[in-house]
Amino acid sequence: MKRRILFLALGSWLLVQPSAAQKAVTDTVHLKFSIDSVGLEEVVVKGHRTPAANSRWSDLSPVELVTVGGANGDLYKALQTLPGTQVQGESGELLVRGGSSYETQTYIDGMHVLNPYTSTGINTPARSRYSTFMFSGVNLASGGASQEYGEALSAVLPLETKDYSKVNKIGVNASVVGVGGGGTRTFDKGSLSVDLNYQNLGLYDKVYSGRRDFEKPYRMFSGATQFRYTPDEATALKIYAQYDRTDFSTYEGSNRRIFGLGEDNVYINATFRRRTSGDWNWFAGAAYSFYEQKIAGAAAAGDDWLERQQELHLKAKVFKRLSPAFRLDMGAESFIRRYENHYRLSVVDDRNRMSPAVSAGFVSATYYPLEQLKAELSFRTEYASRSRKVNFSPRLAVNYYWGDVMLSAIIGRYTQLPENSYLVRQPDLKSEACVQYNLGAQYDHEGRFYKAELYYKDYSRLALVEENAGMDADAAAGTSLLTSGGYGRSRGIDLFFRDRALLKNVEYQLSYSYNISKRKYQEYTELTTPQYATRHNAAAVVKYSIPRLHSIISVTDRFSSGRPYHNPARAGLMNDEVKPYNSLDLGLTFLASRKVIIHASATNVLCRKNEFGKVDNKAVLASSDHFFYVGVFITLGKKAAYDVSNF
């Protein structure tokens, strides 16, 4: 859904809210509506008894996410306030329940996104490549996801774009980091949208520089377009394409070598949905991703690094409600990938290539024996071309309603190819596996949503670097063997409280996660807590609406216990922690007029210097302790508020 529509929908609500003083004077409230007022594009009605049988944390609209204090409009940073997630201030990527960012995969309209994050410098948080407002809703599945979504050990983030737009719109935006503009043109049964944006941190860095010393400032140009066609209520065709170019260079290390990065990224997504007269629902989709990154001075002055990735994701599925008590889903998909890297330095010339592919089929049967009970049994089978292994992954999910309370239980097995950096070195590595167990309870009634969930994750077949494996010490000195012998576990509890009814014009959200994660994998040769995993994570988000000022003020306070690191003075691995993380963030959204929206945010206003572990006994710090953002969004049309995504 569009930022312009959502922000103005929010603004229109603010404009007509009576104040407390007005209510005290009279029992009659007069509302005056202008004929030229802005209308909502669509209203979505969702059934109470049909939630997805996985660990999801309430549907979140784009407005709800972008008004999170300190999110700066970034999808992934806003999601880090949900339970199960862990603060990743040095990379900005999404980590869920003790898993690495690689284990959480993003899907747009059911199709895989190979590289959802922007590229940045060392210890600089990345952002989503895609505007939050491009989507009609966001719902993170932190565990027990449907077997339709493959190649994700920990969690999936399924994002759905709108099916149609009925309003012509055009607008521009300007902020402290760049400019942009675009619009949507509607026609009979369809629409075409275009969005252009340019970011340049040169001025921002001069005014408010961080720890990175730039030779050339961070610059990013992106262009996106989406075509939507809905000839009737039973058919929808959507085609989305985006290209972005990123480049910058910084001075790194004591010798101030120049680290220069240039990157090109392409994503194309096409989906087709059709419901037949017999109530069979058909879906077909294709997504192509291309990513190329070139770095000069990656590890030493004068070197060159090239990394190129491509993926073609093909998918087809069909589902039908065969009876009031039974629904059947089934489908097939393929991930066809190509990866290569090339490193050059003086006489060193190292080139690696691979073309892994995964083919899969999935089937799911959902049974409603009672109105209060829903059971879902699903299976997924995969064939990995490199290892020539077949993986079989079952899943069982049960929901039971008791009034406004829902009890849930999920057990499922998930697989994923090892990371490219390991798979390219050892093509015969098996797909990594994780078995998830989830028990949860939630309460949802009149603006109050409370949820608690226990989980346990059992990892196996993880990529592992085994030193001197199978050799005597003299012959194997300095050598290592890459195997699929890694394993680990992660367990904990997630708590979530969200209340919109306690106080007038106030909404609060509290989340807490307790996690114990241990792994023996990659370079961790002993069972230990990974450097990115923290035991305690909490976030509080409070939003206060001021109707008379047409504003929303948001305050976010995030906390996590210290990151583990290895102290050479003590035996063992990862046996110490840095100081705890804490950041107090603020946000303000102001509807200056029906056509002008101002949004501002600031992170870590208490100026705390947060650490993200240690390397060689030196604290890992983000490139900047703070960030501020001010943006203005202006509508050039008559009846639609502007948003940066224009979709």
Q: In a 3-state reduction of DSSP, which class is residue 586? A: strand
- Nearest one of 199, 206, 304 to 248, comparing CA atoms: 199
Q: What's the CA gap between 496 and 444, in Å, rounded?
A: 12
Q: Is the dihedral of CA 197, 195, 315, 399 positive or negative?
A: positive
- Lowest mean pLDDT segment, chosen from 4-8, 211-215, 627-631: 4-8
Does position 7 have pLDDT exceeding 70, yes or no?
Answer: no
pLDDT for 24 equals 39
Report the pLDDT averaged over residues 247-265.
89
pLDDT for 572 equals 56
Residue 124 has φ and ψ, to the nearest 5°, of -115, 125
Task: Report which of residues 137 and 380 the model is more confident about.
Answer: 380
Report the pLDDT averaged over residues 137-150.
85
- The tokens for 228 are 């939507």
Does position 172 have pLDDT exceeding 50, yes or no?
Answer: yes
Neighbours of 219 (CB within 10 A): 15
Neighbours of 332 (CB within 10 A): 14
- The tokens for 509 are 């959200």
Helices and strands in the chain: count of H runs, count of E runs: 6, 33
Does position 14 have pLDDT exceeding 50, yes or no?
Answer: no
Taking only the tens place, the pLDDT of each residue in 391-420 is: 999 999 999 999 999 999 999 999 999 999
- Which residues, at least 6 apart from 106, have a Cβ–Cβ distance to it below 8 Å? 112, 113, 116, 156, 157, 159
Residue 417 has φ and ψ, to the nearest 5°, of -65, 145
Structure confidence at residue 66 as a pLDDT band (50, 70, 90)? confident
- Give the DSSP per-residue string, 60-89: B-HHHHHTSTT-TT-HHHHHTTSTTEE--T
- Which residues, at least 6 apart from 387, have a Cβ–Cβ distance to it below 8 Å? 427, 428, 429, 430, 431
pLDDT for 558 equals 94
Domains of the chain plus CATH, in order, are: 3-635 (2.40.170.20)
Residue 498's DSSP bridge partners are: 449, 509
Q: Which of 49-53, 493-497, 590-594 has the highest mean pLDDT?
A: 493-497
pLDDT for 591 equals 87
- The tokens for 206 are 């001069």
Does position 113 have pLDDT exceeding 80, yes or no?
Answer: yes
Does position 5 have pLDDT exceeding 70, yes or no?
Answer: no
Neighbours of 232 (CB within 10 A): 9
Taking only the tens place, the pLDDT of each residue in 178-192 is: 999 888 899 889 999
- Give the DSSP per-residue string, 501-520: SSSTTEEEEEEEEEEEEEEE
Q: What's the CA gap between 165 and 195, in Å, rounded?
A: 15
Average pLDDT, the chain: 84
- The tokens for 561 are 């216990």
Pairing verdict, β 104-108 and 155-161: parallel
- Lowest mean pLDDT segment, chosen from 62-71, 241-250, 448-457, 543-552: 62-71
Q: What's the CA gap between 62 and 641, in Å, rounded?
A: 15
